[in-house]
Structure 1
């Protein structure tokens, strides 16, 4: 006996069980696919064909199946896909799933044909499917057309040149025209590339035609994003077409609700695509143009869709007021803050937190603010106070004031059991004694005689609070003070490094206020003056100053700031040379003032200017001429030691140019130091022979006879050379 035929519902139930099986174990996909392909034969019900087509689309899109297994399965299902899509009366849902499957299968078949050029039958099946999809592209249902756009995007991606597939890159799915040999018989690269170019133009035609179907436009934009990212050589062509597309063009026609939604959708998708491109590639050559397009689109969108609300203006009052005053009164009502209601306190005892809690949200009341850090609470509080409306704040304060008054008025006078008078019990509040005859004087005296003498001596304690003073903190030791000072200085430098340099200089000149603005220059001024003017006796207090600082003085706050400034400058002396000059000017001024107060002082300027030069001179090169010239010309004092550091640069041929240029600048711009500078130039002439040509070129007009001296020395060298050759 033959088993009875199963109904469609029962067959679909069995197919769903098979789907659950392959989802749990991907190894069953080959058996299941080979078993369900006969179901889609022409006599099959449309429900079964829909299920099989949807299952195939789901299978080839699943990431759980290995690439090699997908490639094998794609060869098995090609004939079935061809039969389904070539059926002119096929269901639209079936065609949609078939096109989705073809989009996933096309790169796999293309890779197979690259490696197996003899398989002509497989490639003919794929070409038949591709040709049928391109024919129904413009006439199918909207859902099928979206899948056709996805298939076209996958064909363009495969049939254009891209990066070579490299297993080490972890992207085995990359298939491009670069992998095809030039002499391939089935897939000639030139023909495929031409087909891909024409197909891309067909996709882009949706932006050049007067098409108001937002579904097709959005689908094309979403497909083009992958092409722009994966194929940079065609990205400019795509972007130029998109930026010539105006999604708000349809808004000029009568605006219906449907058209309004469609225009908004196209504008948002276009803008999102371009913004995403700018984020991925900020250095894109078309970046400025894309930015202008996005900004213009946003302005146009605001003008079109916000025009009605702007024209109407604020609502007018509906009472019988003067029409000329209605608009102004409506504006005042619109700007008025809403009434902030603070609920009154319920009867009974309350805590301080309940007194100041004005919100009615129970979840917010239960939040424990102590879990937040102190810095975060301060930031939140400052932000709230900056943005809160003044009227709302005043209403909240008035509500809390009314709460406080109501609590004070309703508070009963309770007796403290510890301080209550003797003989008064709380339970006897309602007791009303009988009025009797007043006791006589004799009875009162008899009662007083019975009281113990010890009780008479007991006096009430003095409950008044005395003057309270906090105890003085323990004094800090020298090491503790030094450690605290070092921490303070480190924090100040940390804040200073986060500040941007001020581009526009202050116009106050030397009379400007220190720290008049919260920027880097203000902090530098504070630090340099803390380092130089903390113990300088600027108020005229004459006191004996030691010639050599003691160990404790060396660890003082001023010296710690000097050390920190020195390290801060050397971290990037080219950009912070202005800080070094400002600091050294303060040190020079400090030394001069101290020398007026007392002759026996410790001078700091010379020490730190030499340390800065020793720190930065080893790192100078020929491109740092302006840095060195600025430093030596703007420091307030020049000494033989400073010029000796410049002389030492002439040892290296790479830095002799900047050293002599700096000395020339000093000769021209600092006449008091001219004699000392020229003396150093003559020492360079006598010491470094390699520096003589450049020295002669720069200083021939400042040192008399330098040119003749050079000629004589050249003649001597020439004579000595000839004598050596003759010998």
Structure 2
């Protein structure tokens, strides 16, 4: 009966694996079968626990359907953990609980009245936490996964209203006055469980899988919970991955040490790759280098072999010869060669090791037939002892090295037909010059001069020399070299200190671009290179695909667009410190657009064909609006509610329109930045009269569309356009603050906003 039941359950499981939409239908059908009972077989319990863990970890069905089915399986999991002792069932039940806990948590957040299911989940959590320190190693690893999910759920995550992550379940979803799950208790428990998780890596390292599993779980916690990132990183940098090096170096301990060390290195390397500009990267790099050196010392000492035995290498020990009856190998007597004679040495003397041998005066030139010489030479070489040949080669090598260090190279010996006595030295002619360098120079000075008189030299003119022309550059090469030049220019700009400002003696758009090599000088040069270098050269019929486009229709980027893109990237790298660069760039763009428009209008008035020229003037599209939109859209996602530098940016850009200011309404959708958006609009209304109508229109739209911003917008609309509010304007209190208290504009152009 059990085998038939498991076969039917496997059929349902295969159906769900093929299509995840069947899980909500199959789970209620199999729960009565896999639920715990005293007479149930262990095979069905294992299948049920594995199926639940697999089902709620599967990404093939939606989180909403999982959340609806999660509450129905809590009783089954609780019965498994309370009554079953099989490790396989416990491991699968803990894994299923790790997947179900965030779902039940989100369900309780939205339905505070469902206390029954939360009590079941709390009982399951307490059971798993009790097993954390006493269970088998495999079960403890599953408990680590459960602890990771609990810490993720019970710690606050990053909430971005502009890009909300609906799959991130954290403490930020719980209200402060929730009746069933109090915020403070959950947060304290989450931090306590994180400390319990970190204590594992500082404890006993005898179970390497437990430590590596904990290290692998910390990476996700650091990535998804920046609140706990510093705490986790400090704990990792303070623990010793080579803790087992002090214990006996058994093969098991070696494997555990290598596993923990590699897992720690992978965790820290991923942290550095994820954020290359993190100031903690230097400390991480030092930790990795120190760990690497310690690992080399540990394993070099453990792999050190015992010294070689002090026995003879060419034979047996004399004390063992009689007992073993072994023959001692014959020793080859060493070759003794006389030293070289002083003075010049010939090649024959260098290679002659036995001057008294019978082959010293043997002349091989007597053999006219090479075949006869080979028939004699091959058997002679085969009979030579290899050991003696090696000794002779080493002697000749050492003699040659010694002779080359002490004197000139050997000279060739002169053939001598007369017999020479053995005790007489051979005649060696001296081919070196008998005169030194000074005598040769004096001798050359005494020779007649070979210079020609000036009148005998024919009058000639040198032909003009012309360098060969460089090959023409292709369009791709020219674009690549231009991008390299722009990249080098911005590299030079980034290398200049931020506090190095240019002293401008004459302001305005007609000032010199660079009077020194400061940062402001380079910014002026690059912004004018982007705006004025190609002014009037663009095709008026050439369209732009979108408002952020930096490429032409043909696909090749112009040098001006490359500089504009470089300026945008340079500003966005640190926009708070480089807002003056953004303002200077946009002023140059606006000035260039105005000049081009005026020039086109003047040409249209003076031209003969007014219709054609006017059409050309109307087609001119400026770059200011496009660059300003791109810049403000890049800055606003990073603006915080305390960044009053936004007021300076909006006050100093040369032109504002409805499309630019409507971005402030989008920023006000963030509850924390509503006051900043309203303060910016109020400042623009007070100090930039040309945009007052646009400011009031934006405030009216904000009041109609954003319920959270109504209170702040009502205060301003009640004074500037009360007809928008209607009857509510009568009950609206007037503003208590005066306009003069909103902002103070200093002489240097900075803006100070009253709090």
TM-score bracket, normalised by the shorter chain, equals 0.3 to 0.5
**Structure whose residues are more often helix by fraction:** 1
TM-score by length of 2: 0.43
TM-score by length of 1: 0.45
